[in-house]
Amino acid sequence: MNPLSYAYLIPLLPALGFLLNMLFGYRLGKRGGAYLSVGLLLTSTLLATALLLQVRQAAPVWDKAAVFEVLEAEEALPPLEEVLSEAKAMGASRERVEALEAEIALAEEKLTELEHEALIREPAADFPFSSETPWITIAGEQGIPFGFLLDPFAALMVFMVSLVSLLIHLFSVEYMAGEERYPTFFAYISLFAAAMLGMVMSRNLFLLLLFWELMGVMSYLLIGFFYKKVSAQQAMKKAFLVTKLADLGLLVGIFWIYRAFGTLDLLAIGELAPGLLAGSAGVATGIGLLLFLGAMGKSAQFPLHVWLLDAMEGPTPVSAMIHAATMVAAGVYLMARAYPILEMGNALPLIAWVGGLTALFAAALAPAFADIKKILAWSTVSQLGFMFLGLGAFGWIAAIFHLVAHAFFKSLLFLGSGSMIHGSGTQDIFAMNQLKKYMPSTRWTFIIGGLSLAGVFPFAGFWSKDEILLAVKNALSVNGGYGLLLLIGYAASFLTALYISRTYLIAFEQAKRPSPWQAAKWNQGGLGVLNMSAEDLAQDAEYDHHDTHDTPHESGWHITTALWVLAISATVFGIIGSPFTGNALQGFVYRGIVPELEPLSAQWLGFIVSTLVALSGITLAYLLYGNARLKLQAPQLLTQLLQQRFYLDQAYYFFAAGPLTRLAKPLAWFDRRIIDALVDFLAWLVAIVGDALRRVQTGRLEHYAWTMAAAAVVLLLALSFGGQL
């Protein structure tokens, strides 16, 4: 059976869940609508699994060793063609041209032969599965067809998105219980999942853009789910405006692609890009930068990351959804899809730098926060930075691997934090009271997720992050600037291990105590930027977590099941992508090999360095925040340093109160005077135009009739006599 015959159901079923929940959700009993959504998404997930298996069966299998030869042969072609075109332009003799052409033909023949030899199993005839029906037709142009593309990458994404969404739905059944707008929540989150599923299945960029925007709307609604909370209202507006601003770039980029390629078909773009864009690096760079602008907004890269922190105003499952399966993954997905274009231009180093710096600075900020959701939000920003770093270092497959791995472990961490919030009734990690005693499942799954995030052998994050760093290392041969990026990557890894261990230790191991942030008088000043005030936390408690408990309790089976399934799939996916299985995951996406990967024997050094970096981060966190006050007789200075946590908190205070505030002031001025003024101006413009239009709406029947008739007359006169003027 062709997977296209059922694939359309995968996004359709959650969309149906949206419809049913919106229409009948309140009549389906207390949890009827929720279980309906879960059931529909479960069906989607099963279909996605079938799709994945079928695509795997149809995909070609390559012989690893031989593929490298194919790649070499492929790389040899473009220079030859360049020589030929040059020769033609120079007006070389006929014999010379013919000789060159013969050489190319020979090379092509050799390539085909090599390809044939390298294929252990030929791809199925209809691989990759794609459909196309006329949709928007433009006279004289190719137009925009409606269609799905189910290549291995899409199948992998569909599987990941549906599975993670399913578990988030399951989690929400319990987490959101008692919420007034319970069915509405499930309606929104179902459509959110449907939009993402539709996006990764889209065959052309226009369809992709539609789903992309639908996702924007759904995130807007979900971030503002507690719409009575002022901060939530602001957060939803911010998220929408920032991502829309970025989408403008994407839109222009898509126009440009249509102009350059004459089509928006992803398959065609992939095939045409090397030929069309050869010699016009400017176009490729321009398109790449515009698309990257869109991806920056969606995937929260500096400086457009601002909305993601505020997006924490939504319920925790929404955060998990935005940060793992959908939304932020969309940007990376788009960039990976557009990689054939990016490759031809010069935008990649910039992408790498933006990603690397974002990874570092977000990881550096994360330890300064007490709100667990904010910590994880910074963590997401940082990990997305890693993905773009990998992408910018020519390791797009590594970025995809990290995207999938991150989706699993970050949703695990977010759901774990949700479970913690649910069980303890607070978001402040300092206020959580030795949760390890009360929440075993949450604790162990959080450890698995945390180790994965920190990049500890053998969890998913270890393999994927390492692959990204390897890609950066390999990129050194192209550009020396990547050396600094490699250091930045390791520094960010170190900080990642540090902040996630800190979170774990304080929340699970330590007894409850007042947050040093709230106690500090610094907080009275400008530090509200960094941390929530007590009132904020109290208000959040009112909205997102129901009631406060004196003794925390473990969550029910919905939540723990979701956590364990995620923990297991995160680990399994890591193993599938590891060198032990011959990088099966990456090979599935691209020709059986990963271009940037070296033989296993050469990777050990990287593994050891990564492990050391992660372990040192964890150790430092343990020394700073762990229960084991150093028993050994350390020198006075070291003991004091450790007891005071290297004055890290103070350093943060100092930094935040001093230079940061000073730095923040001009930024705040810029924000208020320029950006806000711009927004205000737009609002003012809309208000003015609206007011003018309101006056037109007199509400008098005859005025409408007059307007209509007069307009018809003017139009007719213009049409009949306009031609002669």
Partner 1 sequence: MEAFAPNVLAFYLISAVAIILAILAVTTANLVRAALALAFGFFSLAGIFWLLGSPFVAVLQLVVNAGAIPIVTIFIVMMTQSRFSQLRNPLFAAVALLVAIPLLIAAFSFFPSPATTALTQTTPLTVEALGVELLSQRGAEVTLSSGETMTVQAGTILAFEVTAIILLVAFVGSIILARRESLILKLESGSKPAAEGKAADADA
Partner 2 sequence: MLTLNHFLALGAILFAIGLYGLLSRRNLVAILMSVEILLNAILVNVVAIARFNDQAQGDVFALFIIAIAAAEVAVGLALFLNVFRLNGVATVDPLRRMKE
716 touches which of partner 2, partner 1, none (CB within 5 to 8 A by kind)?
partner 1
Q: How far is the CB of 540 from partner 1 (least distance, A)?
A: 22
Which residue's structure tokens are 């599938």?
576
3 state DSSP class of 172? helix
Kind of pairing between the strands at 61-62 and 133-136: unpaired
Residues 6+ apart with CB under 8 A from 382: 358, 359, 360, 362, 363, 366, 492, 495, 496
180: contact with partner 2 by CB under 8 A: no
Residue span binding partner 2 (CB under 8 A) among the ranges 232-240, 314-322, 548-556, 704-712: 704-712
Runs of H (alpha helix) within 91-204: 94-118, 152-175, 182-201
Stretch 644-683: interaction string toward partner 2, x if CB under 8 A: ----------------------------------------
Q: How far is the CB of 701 from partner 2 (least distance, A)?
A: 5
Among 705, 714, 715, 717, binds partner 2 (CB under 8 A): 705
719: contact with partner 1 by CB under 8 A: yes
Query: Closest CB to partner 2 among 6 and 704?
Result: 704
Distance CA 54, CA 694 (A): 57
Q: How far is the CB of 725 from partner 2 (least distance, A)?
A: 23
Given a contact cutoff of 8 angstroms between Cβ atoms, the answer to whether 331 and 295 are in contact is yes
719 touches which of partner 1, partner 2, none (CB within 5 to 8 A by kind)?
partner 1
Given a contact cutoff of 8 angstroms between Cβ atoms, the answer to whether 474 and 606 are in contact is no
Residues 684-703 close enough to bind partner 2 by CB under 8 A: 697-702
Distance CA 640, CA 638 (A): 5
Q: How far is the CB of 713 from partner 2 (least distance, A)?
A: 9
699 touches which of partner 2, partner 1, none (CB within 5 to 8 A by kind)?
partner 2
Q: Report the sign of the C-alpha dihedral through residues 489, 492, 497, 503, in that order.
A: negative
Residues 6+ apart with CB under 8 A from 619: none
Stretch 577-616: interaction string toward partner 1, x if CB under 8 A: ----------------------------------------
Q: How far is the CB of 571 from partner 1 (least distance, A)?
A: 45
Kind of pairing between the strands at 144-146 and 133-136: antiparallel
Exposure string of 138-173, with b = 16+ CB inside 10 Å and e = fewer, is eeeeeebbebbbbbbbbbbbbbbbbbbbbbbbbbbb
Q: How far is the CB of 714 from partner 1 (least distance, A)?
A: 9
Q: How far is the CB of 720 from partner 1 (least distance, A)?
A: 4
Among 139, 629, 695, 721, binds partner 1 (CB under 8 A): 721
Residues 673-712 close enough to bind partner 1 by CB under 8 A: 706, 709-710, 712
720 touches which of partner 1, partner 2, none (CB within 5 to 8 A by kind)?
partner 1
Angle separating helix axes 230-261 and 266-277, nearest 10 degrees = 60
Type of residue at 425? G
Q: How far is the CB of 705 from partner 1 (least distance, A)?
A: 10
686 touches which of partner 1, partner 2, none (CB within 5 to 8 A by kind)?
none
Query: Closest CB to partner 2 among 57 and 707?
Result: 707
Closest to 414 measured CA to CA, from 326, 335, 484: 326
Query: Closest CB to partner 2 among 484 and 710?
Result: 710
Closest to 449 measured CA to CA, from 605, 335, 561, 569: 569
Residues 6+ apart with CB under 8 A from 176: 34, 182, 185, 186, 315, 317
Given a contact cutoff of 8 angstroms between Cβ atoms, the answer to whether 452 and 410 are in contact is no
Residues 317-336 close enough to bind partner 1 by CB under 8 A: none
Q: How far is the CB of 709 from partner 1 (least distance, A)?
A: 5
Query: Closest CB to partner 2 among 630 and 709?
Result: 709
Report angle CA 510, 308, 473 to the nearest 5 degrees: 85
477: contact with partner 2 by CB under 8 A: no
Given a contact cutoff of 8 angstroms between Cβ atoms, the answer to whether 133 and 146 are in contact is yes
Angle separating helix axes 460-475 and 372-392, nearest 10 degrees = 40
Which residue's structure tokens are 């020519």?
394
3 state DSSP class of 61? strand
Residue 184: exposure state from Cβ atoms within 10 A (0-12, 13-18, ≥19)? middle
Query: Closest CB to partner 1 among 600 and 716?
Result: 716
Query: Closest CB to partner 2 among 629 and 700?
Result: 700
Query: Closest CB to partner 2 among 627 and 698?
Result: 698
8-state DSSP, 628: -
Stretch 528-567: interaction string toward partner 1, x if CB under 8 A: ----------------------------------------
3 state DSSP class of 554? coil
Residues 395-454 close enough to bind partner 2 by CB under 8 A: none
Residue span binding partner 1 (CB under 8 A) among the ranges 33-41, 105-113, 288-296, 717-725: 717-725
716: contact with partner 1 by CB under 8 A: yes
Count interface residues toward partner 2 (CB under 8 A): 9
666 touches which of partner 1, partner 2, none (CB within 5 to 8 A by kind)?
none
484 touches which of partner 2, partner 1, none (CB within 5 to 8 A by kind)?
none
User: Across-strand partners of 103?
Assistant: none
Q: How far is the CB of 711 from partner 1 (least distance, A)?
A: 10
Count interface residues toward partner 1 (CB under 8 A): 10
23: contact with partner 1 by CB under 8 A: no
721 touches which of partner 2, partner 1, none (CB within 5 to 8 A by kind)?
partner 1
List contacts with partner 2 (CB under 8 A): 697-702, 705-706, 709
List contacts with partner 1 (CB under 8 A): 706, 709-710, 712-713, 716-717, 719-721
